[in-house]
Amino acid sequence: MDLSEFIDTYRDAIAQRVVESYPPRYRPSDCGKPLPRLLRTPLGAQADAIRGAALSLEEHRGTTVVGEMGTGKTFIAA
């Protein structure tokens, strides 16, 4: 069995184990915290990225934001 077959076969079990071992620190459905007034309105999931980064910064001195284009990285950095 090669790696791609292994992942295809055990995908659900692997994902479940990862979530159990490393639970998300932020879940959009659990956080209704309103954003303060911003110069621009975040689009789509950008508000969730902003809230997640803010939550991380409340608990740590620094944080790293990694995401695809359009997820709010520049918005957060500004």
18-60 confidence digits (pLDDT tens): 999 998 888 888 776 677 788 888 887 888 888 888 888 888 8
Cβ–Cβ under 8 Å, residues 50 and 37: no
Domain, as residue range, for 52: 3-77
Q: How far apart are CA 21 and CA 54, in angstroms?
A: 23
Q: How far apart are CA 31 and CA 26, in angstroms?
A: 8
Q: What confidence score (pLDDT) does residue 71 get? A: 86
Q: What confidence score (pLDDT) does residue 25 get? A: 83
pTM for the full model? 0.65
How many structural domains are present in the chain?
1
Is the sign of the CA dihedral 15, 17, 20, 25 positive or negative?
A: negative
Q: How would residue 7 be classed by pLDDT, with cut points 50, 70 and 90?
A: very high
